[in-house]
Amino acid sequence: MEHIKAIKEDDHKAFQQVYEEYHVQIYGFILQRTKSTYVAEEVTQLTFIKFWKQREILSDRLGVNVQLFGMARQVMIDVLRKEATRFKYEGDSAETPFTDSLIDAIESKDLLQLMERDIQNMPKMRRLVFELSRKQGLSHKEIAQLFSITPKAVEQHIGKALLQLKQHLYSIML
């Protein structure tokens, strides 16, 4: 967090330290997802440019890594979309479905990880009931018998879990 404060105050040394600490990690993160050294290099550079340009609005509450990787993910999606558009206009449409599906896969994977994290952060009973219902396919009656609760209680746990997930997803989409 100390780097954030310094960077917000235009400290080039602090920015250089962050760059040196995270450059390879960001590059690897993007390369792993895109399998393209060109995209990884481009996104890494653009991420650090964006990080510096947006230094005044960086959050003091979030770690440098969280903010950098969030920016990198968004920059990656933007770059892939631009590449897809470029291919479309150059008539090289064979690449476009790949790029579009890659963007969709990245967004889906990130969304699934986010939802899984939300599920793990639910109260224990709600999480267990939700997982038994949605992941194991057990009926409300079967779950009720397992925990010696009523099927109505199972329904309430699942309803609360779904509401929690929907609210979080809605807040992300805004």
Averaged pLDDT in 10-residue chunks for the chain of 174 residues? 85 94 92 84 93 89 87 87 69 50 61 79 92 85 93 94 81 59
> Which of the listed residues 64, 83, 111 is the one where a domain comes to its end?
111
Query: Are both 74 and 127 inside the same structural domain?
Result: no
The whole-angstrom separation of Cα 96 and Cα 88 is 7
The residue written with tokens 């599920």 in the block is 119
Binning the chain into helix, strand and coil, the percentages to the nearest 5 are 80, 0, 20
Helix (H) or strand (E) holding 63: none
Number of domains in the chain: 2
Q: Choose among 31, 35, 66, 40: nearest CA to 51.
A: 66
pLDDT at 111: 67
pLDDT at 103: 61
Query: Are both 41 and 102 inside the same structural domain?
Result: yes
For the whole model, what pTM was predicted?
Answer: 0.53
pLDDT at 155: 95
The residue written with tokens 């038994």 in the block is 132
Q: What is the C-alpha R_g of the chain?
A: 21
Query: Are both 146 and 92 inside the same structural domain?
Result: no
Query: Are both 10 and 94 inside the same structural domain?
Result: yes
Which two tokens mark 3?
Answer: 């780097």
Q: What is the CATH number of the domain that holds 128?
A: 1.10.10
Query: Are both 82 and 8 inside the same structural domain?
Result: yes
pLDDT at 110: 66
> Which of the listed residues 111, 136, 163 is the one where a domain comes to its end?
111
Please, are residues 161 and 122 in contact by the beta-carbon 8 Å criterion?
Answer: yes
